[in-house]
Structure 1
Amino acid sequence: MTDSVLLVAVLLACLLSFLTKLAGHLVPPRLLLGPLSSRALTLLPVCLLAGLVAVQAFAAPGGHLVLDARVAGLAAAVVALLLRAPFLVVILVAAAVAAGLRALGWAA
């Protein structure tokens, strides 16, 4: 990818981001205040984050499903969350489990 193509791609992404934010300001408030839309807008970031975590934890470059140290780290994070650990502790537990398994020879 040449520098000019990359620059155009970044500028288009900036423009799209700006237009998306502008569209959010132009939506009439009555469309956002209903109970259904309010609930959906509350859950949307959680769903998007869960999707990103799943793709990063289970996907390999070829589009194949993999079970490696990332999945074990994610499982450890879920256990820490269920035990109501603080968020920083959850991150540290997940990182320690994944790093420990990689040090023992697990791939990824």
Structure 2
Amino acid sequence: MNLWGAIIVAAVIAFATKLAGHLIPAHLLSGRSTRRVMGAMPVALLAALVATQTFTGPSGTLVVDARLAAVGVAVLALLLRAPFIVVVVAGAATAAGLRWLGWG
């Protein structure tokens, strides 16, 4: 299969997934447990993305570098109820400082 074939297959799968979401009867989505799961899904997906980007290097191996320290500082700032911009700047400054010092 060439590149265009893979693109077409991916497009068909994406379209079918979106279509399936519209075809599901509303009574299947109105349950309390279903609403709880759907409410938690964005947080879980974002956490998985952050973990993947924090712990994997270019070759897919486990890496401990400045990104891990930056996420740790950001989590600490969140626990201290800092404003979002402070969380972002603290994490970025931590990563930049550690990279400037030659780590990560």
Establish whether TM, by shorter chain, passes 0.5: yes
TM-score, scaled to structure 2: 0.85
Runs of 5+ consecutive residues of structure 2 not aligned to the other structure? none
Farther-moved stretch of structure 1 (81-90 vs 64-73): 81-90
Is 1:69–2:63 an aligned residue pair?
no
Measured against aligned partners, the alpha-carbon deviations of 1:63-100 in whole angstroms (never above 9, x if no partner) come to: 43322100001011111211222323322221111111
Alpha-carbon distance in structure 1 between the residues aligned to 2:97 and 2:82: 20
Identify the match of residue 28 of structure 2 among 24, 28, 31.
31
Residue of structure 1 in register with 2:38 after alignment: 41
Corresponding residue of 1:12: 9
State the partner residue of 1:88: 85
Question: Structure 2 CA distance, aligned partners of 1:58 and 1:100?
Answer: 19
Gaps of 5+ in 1: none
When residues 94 and 10 of structure 1 are mapped into structure 2, their CA distance, relative to the original with a 3 A threshold, is farther
Aligned residues: 104
State the TM-score, normalizing by the size of structure 1.
0.83
**Cα RMSD (Å):** 1.9
Alignment equivalent of 1:99, drawn from 91, 96, 99: 96
- Distance change in 2, residues 1:10/1:86 (3 Å): farther
